[in-house]
């Protein structure tokens, strides 16, 4: 069986599909342990919640596991109502995805055709580029300002071919946020264009900056805005794949035309309903992250590393040695972090805030390997 695409297939495959960039995920624990013959590896590479799922979600999954032979309700009305109620919106203003990634794909499917333009920050979450290319669109990359998106430059690059504009707050992979005034200017510019702003708030729940934008407050103001959030981060359900978008009814109706049926599975819907009401778990996750983030930043700075102030559940930093070598040395110690080369930041590493013990072990490993690099 050959894995080389045969010539006849190369001739018929859509040319832009061949240029879709590859998504590079954080290395899984099992893979690292297998490759290095070690056990007890710690993964701090994919911004997952180290406390695990909400106990209420776990209970709901176990109680309902026996119904896995039944299709879920395709439009997940109960989960959409629970999300809508949380933000004072109507349930037909909510769309659900198999992760928020899938909603990005739906948006591209609806709006982006061959050679249409999609604006995004230069060093950002790679799915923005991938979903743009999926339908033949062209990514227009705007350099960061410092370590956050340059909203002014993004606003002024909106043109007649711009269909979508991706911006994340806090920004991934740096954790930097922007303020309301800059965001309002961007929205104003979008309002007089044909472009949709996709405000990706995957990490918004971790934010403690007083003037941090809450996208949900702006939906009524602008029909050029969709806000994306996820159950993968603070809610601890990354493995179940549930994300959501909030916007105007007309936009949600369009997305529903391309949404695959049953895209959020039965147990994921049930778990997310339980998780969204579990304030105790969310608060514990938030507090743990705040303490861990400070611990990591201080530890890295003591070593002379440049740690970027983050509002998310990760810290990006520039070590005083080669970042790629540090990444590999940590891997050998069983500590999986993310080298930010694939994000366009080859001199940086991103580490997810873990449990207190994991953070301590990670810092110990950094101290141990540094003299050897
Ligand atoms: C900035 C950003 N947006 C969205 C996502 C995707 O989240 P989901 O798991 O809901 O697809 C991630 C995941 O890492 C992310 O970093």
User: What separation in Å is there between the alpha carbon of 232 and the centre of ligand 1?
Assistant: 7
Rg (CA), the chain: 21
Give residue 200 CA to ligand 1 midpoint distance, Å.
8
Among the candidates 229, 261, 276, a domain finishes at 276
Whether residue 321 sits in one domain with residue 174: no
Distance CA(216)–CA(218), nearest Å, equals: 5
pTM: 0.96
What pLDDT does 201 receive?
98
46 & 90 share domain: no
Position 156 in a domain: yes
Q: Say if residue 240 is in the same domain as residue 344.
A: no
For residues 338 and 317, state if they share a domain: yes
Provide the pairing of β-strand 117-121 with 162-168: parallel
| Residue minimizing CA distance to atom 8 of ligand 1 | 99
Last residue of a domain, one of 253, 276, 299: 276
The ligand 1 atom nearest the CA atom of 242: 10
Say yes or no: 181 and 291 in one domain: no
* Nearest Cα residue to atom 2 of ligand 1: 202
pLDDT (0 to 100) of residue 76: 96
Which residues of the chain, if any, have pLDDT below 70? 1
Which of ligand 1's atoms lies nearest the C-alpha of 238?
9
Task: Say yes or no: 99 and 234 in one domain.
Answer: yes
Ligand 1 midpoint to CA 150 (Å): 20
Distance (angstroms) between ligand 1 centre and the Cα of 47 equals 9
217 and 330 share a domain? no
Are 317 and 204 in a shared domain?
no
CATH number of the structural domain spanning residue 300: 3.90.1150.10
Question: Rounded CA gap, 246 and 173, in Å?
Answer: 23
| Rounded (5°) CA angle 265-214-138 | 70
Segments forming the whole domain that contains residue 272: 55-276
Looking at the fold, whether 96 and 234 belong to one and the same domain comes out as yes
The ligand 1 atom nearest the CA atom of 124: 1
Domain count, the chain: 2
Residue 21's pLDDT is: 83
CA of 373 to the centre of ligand 1 (A): 32
CA 276 / ligand 1 centre spacing (Å): 17
**Pocket-testing residue among 123, 126, 127, ligand 1, by greatest number of atoms within 8 A of Cβ:** 127
Quick one: 286 and 269 in the same domain?
A: no
* Spatial contact of 230 and 241, defined as CB atoms under 8 Å apart: no
Number of other CB atoms surrounding residue 8 within 10 Å: 8
Whether 314 maps to a domain, the answer reads: yes
Q: In this structure, is residue 350 part of a structural domain?
A: yes
Last residue of a domain, which of 210, 241, 276? Answer: 276
> What CATH number did the domain enclosing 184 receive?
3.40.640.10
Within a domain: residue 155?
yes
**340 in a domain, yes or no?**
yes
Please check whether residues 162 and 266 belong to one and the same domain: yes
| pLDDT for the residue 293 | 98
> Measuring from atom 7 of ligand 1, which residue has the nearest CA?
100
**6 occurs within a structural domain:** no
Q: Give the binding-site residues of ligand 1, using a 6 Å CB cut-off.
A: 47, 99-101, 125, 168, 172, 200, 202, 230, 232, 238, 243
First-residue to last-residue Cα distance in the chain = 43
The angle subtended at Cα 200 by Cα 254 and Cα 80, nearest 5°, is 55
Ligand 1 centroid to Cα of residue 12, in Å, is: 32
In this structure, the answer to whether residues 285 and 216 fall within a common structural domain is no
Instruction: Identify whether 271 is part of a domain.
Output: yes
CA–centroid distance, residue 202 to ligand 1 (Å): 6
What does the angle CA 107 – CA 167 – CA 53 come to, to the nearest 5 degrees?
Answer: 80
Phi then psi for 290, rounded to 5 degrees?
Answer: -60, -45
């Amino acid at each position: 069986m050959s894995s080389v695409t045969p010539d006849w297939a190369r001739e018929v495959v859509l040319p832009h599909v061949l240029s879709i960039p590859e998504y590079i995920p954080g290395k899984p624990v099992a893979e690292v342990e297998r490759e290095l013959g070690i056990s007890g590896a710690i993964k701090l590479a994919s911004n997952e919640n180290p406390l695990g799922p909400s106990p209420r979600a776990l209970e709901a999954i176990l109680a309902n596991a026996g119904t896995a032979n039944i299709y879920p309700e395709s439009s997940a009305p109960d989960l959409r109502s629970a999300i809508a109620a949380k933000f004072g919106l109507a349930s037909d203003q909510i769309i659900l995805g198999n992760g928020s990634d899938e909603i990005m794909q739906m948006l591209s499917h609806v709006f982006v055709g061959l050679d249409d333009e999609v604006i995004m920050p230069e060093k950002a979450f790679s799915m923005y580029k991938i979903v743009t290319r999926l339908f033949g669109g062209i990514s227009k990359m705007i350099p960061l300002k410092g370590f956050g998106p340059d909203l002014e430059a993004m606003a002024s690059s909106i043109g007649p071919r711009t269909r979508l504009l991706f911006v994340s707050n806090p920004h991934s992979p740096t954790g930097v946020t922007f303020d309301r005034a800059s965001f309002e200017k961007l929205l104003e510019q979008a309002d007089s264009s044909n472009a949709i702003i996709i405000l990706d708030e995957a990490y918004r729940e971790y934010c403690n900056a007083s003037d941090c934008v809450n996208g949900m407050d702006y939906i009524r103001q602008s029909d050029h805005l969709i806000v994306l959030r996820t159950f993968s981060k603070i809610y601890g359900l990354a493995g179940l794949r549930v994300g959501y978008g909030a916007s105007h009814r007309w936009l949600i109706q369009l997305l529903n035309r391309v949404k695959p049926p049953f895209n959020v599975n039965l147990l994921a819907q049930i778990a997310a309903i339980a998780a969204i009401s579990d304030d105790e778990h969310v608060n514990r996750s938030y507090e743990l992250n705040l303490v861990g983030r400070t611990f990591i930043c201080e530890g890295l700075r003591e070593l002379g590393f440049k740690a970027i102030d983050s509002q998310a559940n990760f810290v990006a930093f520039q070590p005083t040695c080669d970042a790629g070598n540090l990444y590999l040395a940590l891997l050998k110690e069983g500590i999986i972090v993310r080298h930010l080369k694939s994000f366009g930041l080859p001199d940086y590493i991103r580490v997810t805030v873990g449990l207190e013990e994991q953070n301590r072990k990670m810092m110990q490993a950094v101290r141990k390997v540094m003299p050897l690099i």
